[in-house]
Amino acid sequence: MTDLNQLERDLLTQVEAASDEAALESVRVSALGKKGSVSELLKTLGAMTPEERKERGPLINGLRDKVQGAIVAKKETLAEEALEARLSAERIDVTLPVPEAPESRGRIHPISQVIEELTAIFADMGFSVAEGPDIETDYLNFTALNFPEGHPAREMHDTFFLAPDEKGERKVLRTHTSPVQIRTMTSKAPPIRVIIPGRTYRHDSDQTHTPMFHQVEGLVIDKQANIAHMKWILEEFCKAFFEVDQVKMRFRPSFFPFTEPSAEVDIQCSRKGGEIRFGEGTDWLEILGCGMVHPNVLRNCGLDPDEYQGFAWGMGIDRIAMLKYGMPDLRPFFEADVRWLNHYGFRPLDIPSLVSGLTS
């Protein structure tokens, strides 16, 4: 009897001391396994006399039941402790905002976003996108566009010229995307309807000018293209881009070497409260230049001005981005400040569409 009591105390102590399920399983096997201490005692019942079996049987079976019960209880305790530890380690503070998924943390730069918006608007009108190199020849950048010798744009203080090549020709960082108009007209037969977004370069730097900036131009060449068509396209563009139902535009006579007649275009706006709002108010803001393609430009591209005519326009992408999204300074566009991009940037999947809206 003393031996059974001591064995019981020892086994229950081992069960209570088990720190995990593996240790508890080891205690179970040592006590209740095929060769366990309790199992060996149960095997001796068969060799006992009926009197001994009557006396010792209940004691040994009771020991087995106590050990089994202790093991089951300890197993439940260990499971609860493991669950509590896991819940504590994986706890989520629901009072904080949900962390943004890694794939959506990046931001689309406003310039890239506006180019996508421009493309969506003009593609709906049947325009395609044309591109060209940033380094151009003097002929394509100036001469073919009817810029005469001595024009201010050809001066070193206005334009980035490269060193002369082996032929003595100086290439230039294009001052506008207009050379792509020449490349398009010399490589593609009319009718032509293209927009030309891209980088341009000029000697200029202040709050609203940078040495490198972005420009988009449009070109239409056809036998019957006229100013009325141009006016409608520009009005529809302004309404779609600034997302207003109606807008008034004012065309003021101007001069560009590559268009005749030429005009500066103002758009109706309100400046109340220090905020520019389009489609309302009595103020005006210049946003682009346009005109009918000059006959000399058509001739330089091998097109007969008596048969074909067209119109073109151009505007600064950076400028219209600032106007639409309320950016007061152009310089941060190119400073690579992630804080600025997080504030003004766009989510990667916010793809501009005329159906769902240019901006979400």
Query: Can you say whether residue 279 is alpha, beta or left, with left for phi > 0 and alpha for psi between -120 and 50 degrees?
Result: left
Q: What is the mean pLDDT of residues 312-316?
A: 95
The reply to whether 129 falls in a domain is yes
Domain count, the chain: 2
pLDDT of residue 208: 66
Band of pLDDT at residue 54, cut at 50, 70 and 90: confident
- Indicate whether 85 and 143 sit together in one domain: no
- Indicate whether 76 and 193 sit together in one domain: no
- The C-alpha atoms of residue 183 and residue 262 are separated, in whole angstroms, by 22
For the cut 70, the answer to whether the pLDDT of residue 27 exceeds it is yes
Q: 245 near 279, Cβ under 8 Å?
A: yes
- Indicate whether 296 and 259 sit together in one domain: yes
pLDDT of residue 360: 53
Read off the DSSP letter of residue 97. P
For 132, the enclosing helix (H) or strand (E) is none
For the cut 70, the answer to whether the pLDDT of residue 102 exceeds it is yes
pLDDT of residue 83: 86
The reply to whether 96 falls in a domain is no
DSSP reduced 3-state for 214: strand
The reply to whether 97 falls in a domain is no
pLDDT digits (tens, 9 = 90+) for 259-300: 999 999 999 989 888 788 888 888 999 999 999 999 999 999
The β-bridge relationship of strands 192-201 and 128-129 is parallel
Task: Say which residue, 156 or 150, is predicted with more confidence.
Answer: 150
First-to-final CA distance of the chain = 83
- Indicate whether 253 and 172 sit together in one domain: yes
Task: Say which residue, 107 or 97, is predicted with more confidence.
Answer: 107
Question: Mean pLDDT: which of 6-20, 35-49, 65-79, 223-237 is highest?
Answer: 223-237
pLDDT of residue 124: 92
Among 90, 121, 139, give the residue marking a domain's end: 90
Q: What is the mean pLDDT of residues 13-20?
A: 85
For the cut 80, the answer to whether the pLDDT of residue 1 exceeds it is no
DSSP reduced 3-state for 249: strand
When computed from its CA atoms, the radius of gyration of the chain, rounded to whole angstroms, is 41
Q: How large is the angle between the packed helices 21-32 and 2-17, nearest 10 degrees?
A: 160
- Indicate whether 139 and 201 sit together in one domain: yes
The reply to whether 263 falls in a domain is yes
- Indicate whether 114 and 208 sit together in one domain: yes
The reply to whether 271 falls in a domain is yes
CATH (domain of 172): 3.30.930.10
pLDDT digits (tens, 9 = 90+) for 29-51: 888 888 888 887 777 777 788 88
Residue 307 labelled as part of a binding site: no
The reply to whether 360 falls in a domain is no
- Indicate whether 64 and 211 sit together in one domain: no
Q: 189 near 167, Cβ under 8 Å?
A: no
The reply to whether 102 falls in a domain is no
Residue ranges of alpha helices (H) inside 286-347 are 295-300, 317-325, 338-344
Q: Which domain holds residue 254?
A: 109-344
pLDDT of residue 157: 56
- Indicate whether 129 and 222 sit together in one domain: yes
- Indicate whether 86 and 115 sit together in one domain: no
Within 8 A by CB and 6+ apart from 11, the residues are 27, 31, 37, 38, 63, 67, 70
Question: Mean pLDDT: which of 2-6, 60-64, 174-178, 333-337 is highest?
Answer: 174-178
- Indicate whether 214 and 315 sit together in one domain: yes
pLDDT of residue 153: 67
Read off the DSSP letter of residue 189. P
- Indicate whether 232 and 129 sit together in one domain: yes
Read off the DSSP letter of residue 125. T
pLDDT of residue 250: 94
- The C-alpha atoms of residue 360 and residue 350 are separated, in whole angstroms, by 7
pLDDT of residue 190: 92
Q: How large a percentage of the chain has pLDDT more than 70?
A: 95
Q: Which pTM does this prediction carry? A: 0.68
The reply to whether 208 falls in a domain is yes
Q: How large a percentage of the chain has pLDDT more than 90?
A: 41
- Indicate whether 138 and 268 sit together in one domain: yes
pLDDT digits (tens, 9 = 90+) for 153-201: 666 557 888 888 888 888 899 999 999 999 999 999 999 999 999 999 9
Q: What is the mean pLDDT of residues 85-92?
A: 81
pLDDT digits (tens, 9 = 90+) for 189-241: 999 999 999 999 988 776 667 888 999 999 999 999 999 999 999 999 999 99
Q: Which two tokens stand for residue 143?
A: 């001469």
